[in-house]
Structure 1
Amino acid sequence: MNRRILSFCGLLLGLLFLASSCKNKKDTPRLEFSSVELRQTVWNGTLEYKNAKRGSYSVYLNFLSDSEVEVSAYDSKDPTASYIVQADCFYTITDRIFTLKTQGDRELHPSMDQNAWYLIRKEPSLLVFQANAGNPDREATLTLRKKL
């Protein structure tokens, strides 16, 4: 009888150990970043819309401080087009959400400042954001690679 009780207790301890060692999906760290990581860096990349009619753009972001960025873009269909600083913007970062707001009355084209950009992938020299997920007409992906 004692042998069965000890075997049962051993089995329970083994199951408890196994259950505690299994990782829960909630234990997976969330993607997070801050304006400190972007301060005084330069990023180039692409802005691609899921809807092919909206086209794709080459973008350039020069992060001047923790809150200011120069944003430039041109239509990817014209490889001879040069970057033109379209707008100085303010930006904010909350956990994994990146937002832009133009200074003054200027508007960005494409309208990157009309979206909340959610960080979906982060590597030391690569950031990938997505906006308007689930809306096929407006869904967009912003892929940035660090240059400086």
Structure 2
Amino acid sequence: AEVSTAAIDASLQHIEDSAGVYIAASNRSEMSDSSVPEVGLMYALENQVRKLGYFRPIAYHENDRRLDLLKNVFQIEDQPEEMYGVTMRKAVYMLAHGDEDALIQQVMQKFNALHEKHDFIIVGGLNQGEMPAGAQNLNTKFADALNLP
């Protein structure tokens, strides 16, 4: 995956109108890792946005590799636990118990807390292969709840 100029231009246009942008791979191929466009967009925006942040609605666990990558490459000062909504384990548990609304609320609360410290946040959604069973539309629900393009 690569970041297109159109995607960068669209993101720059949304900076003044939005709290951030939600990025997720839309197919199931092995190359559908959305961290590549996330890194590209972070590079494109790091000199355009004073306080740029990164967030994942669901992290694999507290030591999520994608969080570590973005935190280290861009020297993000936020604590790792501030940069994600819930762990995959907790998300699977909540979904299995019919608590999707509570899951979305918790993600919103964590995102809003992080947004208080940042002007714009790149949100790294779930790739299709990461989706918990029966939750294929979670990216759409998270993006809608966070009011992000």
The verdict on a shared fold, with TM-score over 0.5 as the criterion, is no
- Report TM bin, short chain: under 0.3
What's the TM-score, normalizing by structure 2? 0.25
User: Looking at both structures, which has the greater relative contact order when contacts are Cα pairs under 8 Å and sequence separation is at least 6?
Assistant: 2
Which is strand-richer, 1 or 2?
Answer: 1
Which is helix-richer, 1 or 2?
Answer: 2
Larger C-alpha radius of gyration, 1 or 2? Answer: 1
